[in-house]
Chain A
Amino acid sequence: MKFDVMLTGVGGEGVLTSGVVIARAANLEGHYVRGVQLHGLAQRGGVIPTFVRFGSEDEIHSPGIMQANADLILAFEPLEAVRACYYARKEKTIFVISDHRYIPVYSSILDIPYPKLGEITRRVIPFSKKVSVFSAHRLAKEKLGNMILGTTVLIGAATGMEALPLEEDNVRKAIETTVPGELEKNLEAFELGLKLGRSE
């Protein structure tokens, strides 16, 4: 068995941490885990794709996912979902997207408008088996007072709709070891996401 997850979003949004949560949950489930986290300058408001792969040790060697081979793409920012299509294809990939827009400064500097959400999903659909869009960040802001928890809401949604094939409890435990400082809010965010996902 082999499952390939790509997480994408904007530096500083919690993409790296979310990747760690998924990696640790997979480890708790007894999977062999591989993946890539890019650190450094790109984090400063740039795009940071993170890869997490889990499954059998005989089948997984490369840290990165192969082009057109992601099983799941978690996009914490809609525009970046489009750029993640490089790793997606129709037969295989589920997209779980948060609709919170993080407009790049180059949109105004270069006068290139940020596309509407409908336009974004229209571009993603040819590369996906299923596209689910959630107002994860808005929900986090409304219910928990902190937008950044939207990343945890989205992980919850992916778990709830079984797009991320990991036990809920293992994800909870992974959240506990990864963000112990902000544990309660993150667990609440995860529960909110689970509910969203289950009704999807």
Chain B
Amino acid sequence: MTSEVLGRPGEKVVLLGNEAIARGAVEAGIGVAAAYPGTPSSEVPMVLASVADEVGFYFEYSTNEKVAFETAAGAAWCGVRAITAMKHFGLNVASDSVLPVVYTGVRSGLVVMVADDPSGWSSAQSEQDTRYYARLARMPMIEPSNPQECLDYTKLAFDISEEFEIPVFLRTTTKVSHSIGTVELGEIREPKTRGEFRKDPGRFYSIRPRLQELHGRVDDKLGRIEEKYGQRLNQVYPGEGNIGIIALGVGFEYCREGLLQLGLTTPIAKIGMTHPMSEEFITGFIEDKEAVLILEELEPIIEDFVKQVAKDVNPKLVVHGKDMLPRSGEYNLETILPVLGEVFGKKPEVDFKAHERQVREAERGLPPRKPVLCPGCPHRSTFYAVKEVFGDRAVYAGDIGCYILGIFEPIEMQDFVISMGASAGLAHGITRVSDQDVVVFMGDSTFFHSGLPPLVNYSFNAKRSPLVVVMDNAITAMTGHQPHPGSGFTGMGEKVKPVKIEDVIKGFGAKVRVVGAFNQRKLIEALEELREIEGPRVLVARGECRLLTRRRLKSKGIPIVKYVIDADQWKVHEDLEEIAEQFACPAFMQGEESGYYIDLDLCWGCGVCKQIFPVGVVEALRREAL
């Protein structure tokens, strides 16, 4: 999508929160940006990648978040401003290096953008509250509420980082990253892209006795940041009454609108810096209040802090928060309005619960619509072949990628999904104690991200190892088609020699077969062959993401072969419905009377259906434009 990220200073444009963060980084004059894609943060690197050449900074998609952070930190050590962006789980991967870099500090601004995902719109692991990382790492964290603040806070994060020589977290949640808003653009600072590593013995490692000294220095920095920015990033919106609201992030936006809806003018304290929390700011807000309501998604971090401060300055203060609001799930107006109503004795205009009951009634009996693998997806074909060979009884180890959609019926071939690369590690543990067949599904991007250590461990420790299927669609598809080492081009579009997955695995001493993912017969042959091997064995099922094939052919005006079902042939055979239902291609439509037909607008011509039905049932139709 065309973005207006490179608009002129002073121009007002509509940007996504993530686009505004990218613009903020450009305005701050970054020289380096590095990331591994993870939604809800993905658009930050996507936009930076698209403008890097024009603006003149270096961009890369690194192999994982830890490598991306290290790339950015290395640049910041040399006096070049750098940013990395990741989703909350990405920070788990990067944390091993993030924590010590807080001790060593940086020479130039280093910003770590991290997006939490309450409600798990794009995350299947946990509702991790990254604000705890700021406390764990003793690293400053600031939090915007809307796209304009996304831009402004990104620049501010660079200033704080540079002034105090410490990396800074810029934290968002899904509804900050993925909300749009009017943004006024600022001046773009000329990027500084070259620097130098100046040796400074004792600074860039924290071995004893430097360890404690550096730790003390971090505490000192945090104290000074609290002093300088506590009043600037946290702000009181004055109002009437002795009940106050403390809010942050998108919760602040809901709060303001909710108060408007109820006709209230309650004072609000907006928290823009969640670490270090400013005791002085909180004291100033709560000392004359009877009660406060704290609107924070996920964990009661601010609530606990306020309770602690209140003990000294206003012990009678009533603190509401998680007693009235849930700890899990993101908030919205419907969560917050009734709570505001309860606290202030006002009734919302609409009875939400009664309305919702009517809606549920109207929706009753409708077919559900869940996300599905696209028409022509290579993963559908691979899943189908594996089930042909291993049936329902094998243990299917799942991982992070589009193939996570294999959780749902009718595929149901992701028995567990834990974290990037964990399919192989967990499968190894299972194989150590069980005789069950275990099949590991891992994507190509996941293979490079975190798949290597567990797979090399098979060669080291597993005479009998799980069968690994690398579903190689040549791209990081789920997050929006970012390249990885196997793709053959970089984040800035430069052509490079692709790293072949089979070459890497051969280096581990594993048996490898490479097969086209759209060829059922060859997939099955290879799986049957590998099934008989005990030691490390890998099938690389290779087939380009159909969205990319489609885009490429479409832009060149090249038509593809589409497929059609022969209605007479359909009637000749039995049980074809079952095959169609198991295959679950969105282009297959149930006919008015009996049987199925293929919707030609949805068929992307992979041709796998022709292979799985009896001969003559599905035929190639003609070449047709996509």
A interface, CB within 8 angstroms of B? 10-12, 16-17, 19-20, 23-24, 26-27, 31-47, 52, 57, 59-64, 66-69, 79-80, 82-83, 85-86, 89, 103-110, 112-115, 123-124, 126-127, 141, 147, 177-180
Contacts of B344-390 to chain A: CB distance below 8 A: 350, 352, 355-356, 358-359, 362-363, 365-374
Asked if B355 and A40 sit within 8 Å, CB to CB, the answer is no
CA A147 to CA B39, docked complex, whole Å: 29
**Do A61 and B253 contact each other (CB < 8 Å), given the known contacts A39-B178, A41-B405, A147-B601?**
yes
Q: Does B159 contact A (CB under 8 A)?
A: no
Which of the segments B23-31, B164-172, B321-329, B330-338 contacts the partner chain? B330-338
Chain B residue with Cβ nearest A178:
B2
B180 touches which of A52, A67, A79, A147 (Cβ 8 Å):
A52
CA A83 to CA B367, docked complex, whole Å: 11
Which chain B residues border A86 with CB–CB below 8 Å?
356, 359
Which chain B residues border A16 with CB–CB below 8 Å?
1
Contacts of B396-413 to chain A: CB distance below 8 A: 402, 404-405, 409-410
Which of the segments B12-20, B59-67, B106-114, B187-195 contacts the partner chain? B12-20
Which of the segments B215-223, B578-586, B614-622 contacts the partner chain? B578-586
Asked if B581 and A108 sit within 8 Å, CB to CB, the answer is yes
CA A86 to CA B37, docked complex, whole Å: 33
Which chain B residues border A33 with CB–CB below 8 Å?
14, 180-182
Asked if A46 and B146 sit within 8 Å, CB to CB, the answer is no
Which chain B residues border A89 with CB–CB below 8 Å?
350, 355
Q: Does B480 contact A (CB under 8 A)?
A: yes
Total A-B pairs in contact (CB under 8 Å)? 200
Asked if B257 and A41 sit within 8 Å, CB to CB, the answer is no
Asked if A112 and B366 sit within 8 Å, CB to CB, the answer is yes
Contacts of B577-604 to chain A: CB distance below 8 A: 580-581, 584-586, 588-590, 596, 601
B interface, CB within 8 angstroms of A? 1-2, 4, 12-14, 16, 39-40, 42-43, 121-122, 146, 174-175, 178-182, 250, 253-254, 256-258, 260-261, 332-334, 337, 350, 352, 355-356, 358-359, 362-363, 365-374, 402, 404-405, 409-410, 478-480, 580-581, 584-586, 588-590, 596, 601
CA A141 to CA B599, docked complex, whole Å: 14
CA A113 to CA B371, docked complex, whole Å: 18
Which chain A residues border B179 with CB–CB below 8 Å?
34-37, 63-64
Asked if B405 and A38 sit within 8 Å, CB to CB, the answer is no
Which chain A residues border B337 with CB–CB below 8 Å?
66
Asked if B365 and A45 sit within 8 Å, CB to CB, the answer is no
Asked if B2 and A63 sit within 8 Å, CB to CB, the answer is no
A103 touches which of B1, B121, B590 (Cβ 8 Å):
B590
**Do A112 and B590 contact each other (CB < 8 Å), given the known contacts A11-B371, A40-B478, A67-B356?**
no
Which chain B residues border A11 with CB–CB below 8 Å?
371
Which chain B residues border A37 with CB–CB below 8 Å?
16, 178-180
For the complex of A and B, 6 pairs with smallest distance between CB atoms: A63-B179, A46-B371, A40-B122, A107-B367, A40-B39, A61-B257
Chain A residue with Cβ nearest B408:
A106
CA A35 to CA B260, docked complex, whole Å: 18
Asked if B39 and A105 sit within 8 Å, CB to CB, the answer is no
Interface of A is mostly: mixed
Asked if A38 and B121 sit within 8 Å, CB to CB, the answer is yes
Which chain A residues border B366 with CB–CB below 8 Å?
79, 82-83, 112, 115
CA A158 to CA B148, docked complex, whole Å: 29
Which chain B residues border A108 with CB–CB below 8 Å?
580-581, 588, 590, 596
CA A147 to CA B596, docked complex, whole Å: 22
Asked if B586 and A105 sit within 8 Å, CB to CB, the answer is yes
CA A104 to CA B367, docked complex, whole Å: 7
Asked if B175 and A123 sit within 8 Å, CB to CB, the answer is no
CA A155 to CA B580, docked complex, whole Å: 35
Asked if A79 and B367 sit within 8 Å, CB to CB, the answer is yes
Asked if B333 and A36 sit within 8 Å, CB to CB, the answer is no
17 contacts between A and B (CB under 8 A): A23-B180, A24-B4, A27-B13, A27-B182, A41-B404, A43-B371, A44-B405, A45-B373, A46-B372, A62-B250, A63-B253, A66-B350, A68-B350, A82-B362, A112-B366, A113-B367, A178-B1
CA A24 to CA B334, docked complex, whole Å: 27
Asked if A110 and B368 sit within 8 Å, CB to CB, the answer is yes
B368 touches which of A85, A104, A127 (Cβ 8 Å):
A104
Which chain A residues border B39 with CB–CB below 8 Å?
39-41
Which chain A residues border B358 with CB–CB below 8 Å?
85, 126-127
Asked if A112 and B367 sit within 8 Å, CB to CB, the answer is yes
CA A110 to CA B581, docked complex, whole Å: 9
B602 to chain A, nearest CB (A): 8
Asked if B12 and A39 sit within 8 Å, CB to CB, the answer is no
CA A193 to CA B324, docked complex, whole Å: 47
Which chain A residues border B409 with CB–CB below 8 Å?
109
Which chain B residues border A115 with CB–CB below 8 Å?
366
Most buried by B among A16, A112, A180: A112
